[in-house]
Amino acid sequence: MTLGRNDLCWCGSGKKYKSCHLAFDQKIDLFRDKGHIVPSHDIIKSKEDIEGIKASAKINIACLDYVAEHIRAGISTQDIDDWVSKITAEMGGIPATLGYEGYPKSCCTSINDEVCHGIPSEDVILQDGDIINVDCSTILNGYFSDSSRMFIIGETTPEKKKLVEDVKKAVEIGLAEIKPWRFLGDMGSAINEFCKSQGYEVVVDIGGHGCGLEFHEEPWVSYVSKPGTEMLMVPGMCFTVEPMVNLGRHEIFQDEDNGWTIYTEDGSPSAQWEVQIVVTEDGYEMITY
Ligand code: MF3
Ligand code: CO
């Protein structure tokens, strides 16, 4: 179906196509004609969508703020899950992971050599020196938000501390590359180059994702990509920046018993920070942190 200039725009603004997204679509077509991967309309968020996603994000930010204040040696990762599930419910949301493809808990808690998808458990007690990622995602009124942070329990080794700090820096370096009409690969390669310069390896097989109207939507987001490649970034696209970075080699494996948890193959520690952003007319806006 081709929209006429005087038809209503596909974005739901109620405006005529010619005075709304026509020029935007023409610009995307130029990139498509050059062979680039371009976003489809269904992942471009409207103003209302972005408001809805931000409202959802308030909940997972509140969960992680609470975790930041209360996490300490001696608690179990189930305690973290209890906090997340209580705060999310109190604020009217639903944990997006709970029941997602059979995942049993309200957040992920990944410790040391666990890369991601660690499952909260009463049997896992935080120890002094652990590094842990708490990953929290929320549904509110059908809108999805996703973020994760690292926490250092007590005192850890200088190596693990530097890894945690550097991966946060890597996310900031990636964010600086997010501009409309540039490519996801510009962001991914900036993250990879920085991580390599510090002697780390970025996980290749798991990446980030579009997020907002669904938990995981297009595009899949790599953090080992090349400049000028991967999907064109355009205003209204919403995705996560969440590199998983290993102190050792990038290879990973999945827990055979629980079917979820991912570990580094070489047993080295891994760290990850996750933010969700929306691409704007002149850069990006942070939705979660
Ligand atoms: N926030 C995680 C992600 O986007 C959640 C994964 S799904 C889960 O990768 F079921 F493992 F939690
Ligand atoms: Co995610």
Tell me the pLDDT tens digit for each residue of 200-252: 999 999 999 999 999 999 999 999 999 999 999 999 999 999 999 999 999 99
**Is 232 buried (19+), middle (13-18) or exposed (0-12) by CB count in 10 A?**
buried
> Nearest residue CA, atom 8 of ligand 1?
97
pLDDT at 131: 98
Residue written as tokens 């590359």? Answer: 177
Residue 45 is which amino acid? K
Within 10 angstroms of residue 99's Cβ, the number of other Cβ atoms is 12
pLDDT at 1: 63
Average pLDDT over residues 108-125: 98
197 alpha carbon to ligand 1 midpoint, in Å?
A: 28
Q: Is residue 108 lining ligand 1, measured as CB closer than 6 Å?
A: yes
Claim: this prediction has a pTM higher than 0.75: yes
Domains of the chain, residue spans: 38-288
Residue 186 near residue 177, CB atoms below 8 Å: yes
Is the pLDDT score of 191 beyond 80? yes
Report the residue among 103, 106, 108, 133 best suited for mutation to probe ligand 1: largest number of ligand atoms under 8 A from its CB: 108
Tell how far CA 140 is from the center of its chain: 17
Average pLDDT over residues 59-78: 98
> What is the CATH class of 38-288?
alpha beta
Ligand 2 ion: residues within 5 Å (CB):
146, 240
Q: Where are the alpha helices (DSSP H) in the chain?
A: 22-33, 47-70, 77-90, 158-175, 184-197
Q: Is residue 239 lining ligand 1, measured as CB closer than 6 Å?
A: no
CA–CA gap between residue 92 and residue 288 (Å, rounded): 18
- Nearest ligand atom owner, CA of 258: 1
Closest ligand 1 atom number to CA of residue 101 = 10
CA–CA gap between residue 98 and residue 85 (Å, rounded): 9
Closest ligand 1 atom number to CA of residue 100 = 10
> Nearest residue CA, atom 2 of ligand 1?
135
Q: Which residues contact 210 (CB under 8 A, 6 or more apart)?
A: 43, 216, 217, 218, 219, 221, 237, 238, 239
Widest pairwise Cα distance in the chain: 64
